[in-house]
Structure 1
C-alpha cells in the first residue's frame, strides 16, 4: 500500500512531483481534495468550460485545462489520478466522451475516483443501507447516477485501473451549513413524519478520498456519511439554539414553499452506514455528528 505523504520531506520531492491529479469539476467538494493534493506536493490540473474560471483555478494553484479534446490529451498524458465530481445530465455523463477520446494518452494513470451520491439507493423508509444494498433509485438524477457509475466502472476496467466510487450523503462544511442558513435568514424547519437524512462534513470527504487515492485497493464503492442520521428540522433547531436565535416554527412538508428540486429530497429517507471507510481505509471521522462540528462552524461563520 502506498502511504499518505503527510510527512513530506524535501528529499522526497522528486518522487511526489510525479503524482498528478486531474480534476473534472473542481467545485466545492473536489476543491478540498485538490488543495489537499497540492499541500502534499502533487501537481493538480482542473478542467473548465467557462473562460472566466481560469484565473480562479490558477490562483488556487491548479493547471487550468479547457474541456476540449486537444487540451485534454496534452494535460492527461502524465496524469496519475483522475477525480470527477461532474453530475450526469439527461444525456449522460459529460466527461466520459472526452476521456474515451483521450484513452490513448492515459499511459500513466493509476486511479480513478467518482464522486457520486447516496440517492442511488432510493427510498428505504428510514432504514439502514450499506454498500451491499442494491441501487434502486426513485429519482431521475439517481437513475442517471447509477448509469454513470456503471459507465465509469467499464472505462476504468478497460484502462486497467481501479475506480473508487464515493457515494456522498448530504454535504456540509464552511459556508454551506445550517449555521450559515440561520445567519442568512433562510432557516426553515420543514417536517415530514419519519424523515431522516445522513450528512457528511467536507473535511471527512477530503480525508477519505485522499486515503483511497493512496491505497492499493481494487475497484469498490465507499459510502461517505457520518455516524448520526438526523431529521432536517432538528439540525436547524440545533444551529438556531447555539446562535441564540429564535427557533423557526415547524412547517409541514405539504405547506412548505419549496422548489421542485428541494421538495424532491423529501421523497427519499434512509440512514447510510459508513463502516467500509473505517475498516478498509482506517478512517476516524473528524466530525462524526453535526453537533461535533457545530463549534467549528459557528467560529467560521461568525469570524467577521
Structure 2
C-alpha cells in the first residue's frame, strides 16, 4: 500500500506536499510530454501553484511556503542541473507570491491572485527574453510584416496585441487554476467517500533509481528562435533578390540577426554560467543547513513520482477537460489522504 496513514502528521504532510512540488518541477514536464499532454509548460506551472495552495491550507506554519520553496529549488538543482537561471526565478517568484498573499481569511481570492501572478510572470518572462534577444527593431519588423500581409493600416502595433493576448491567456488560466485549487482543498473532506476505490497497490517504485546520470543530448535551439531566424533569413534573401518588394529592409534584418547572435553567445558563455554559479553556491549553502528536510523529502520522491504517473492513468476514465480536472484530485487523494484529516 503506498498511501499515507490516515492520521498523517502535519510534519510528514509538509514533506509529502513539498515532494509533490519537486516532482512537478523536476519530472512533470517530461512525464506529461511522454504521455502527450498539450501545453505541458502551462500545466507544470499550474501544478506548482496547486502545491503552494495545498501548503497554505494544510500547513499552519507561517514560513512553510518559504521553507518548501528552498527545498524545491535545491532539488531542482540536483535533479535538473542544466536548468537555466530563469527557471529558478520562476520557482522563487511562485513561492514568494504564495508566502505574501495566501491567507485562509480570504482563501479563494488569495489563491486566484497567486495563480494569476505566477502564470502571468511566466508569460512575461518569455516575452522579455524575446525583447532582450531581438530588440525593438524586431517588434517593429513584426508590425510592418503583418501590416503588409493584411493590408490593414488602422492597427499600428500588432506585436503589442500579440504579447497582450499571450499574457491574457495565462491570466485566464490562472483565474481557473486558483479558483479550482481553492475549491478542491476546501472541499477535500468528501473525497474519502467519492474516491474510496482509487488506491494504488504497487511497491515497484522502491527499486527504481531517482537520480540517474543524464544522457548526453545534443543541444537544441528552442523552436521559436529557430523559426524566427529562418524567417529573418528568408526576408534577407528576398531583399537581396527582390529589393523593390521586400517585406523588410536588408539592413534591418542583418541588424536583428547580428544582435540576437551576439546576445545568445554572451548569454550561454558568460551571463548564464555566472548566474547559475551564484545560484548553485547559495543553494548548496542552504542544503548543508537543511539536511534533515532534504533527507525526509528525498525518501518520498520515488513513491510520489510513481503516484503522479499512475494517477494520470487512473484518470483515463474521464474524458478531455474533465480528465484534467479529475487528475489533481486523484493524485492528492492517493498521495496525501488529506480527506481523512
Category of TM-score, reference length = shorter chain: under 0.3
Question: Which of 1 and 2 has greater Rg?
Answer: 2
Normalized per residue, the structure richer in strand is: 1
Asked which structure has the greater RCO (Cα within 8 Å, sep 6+), the reply is 2
The two structures have a TM-score, normalised by structure 1, of 0.22
The two structures have a TM-score, normalised by structure 2, of 0.20
Normalized per residue, the structure richer in helix is: 2
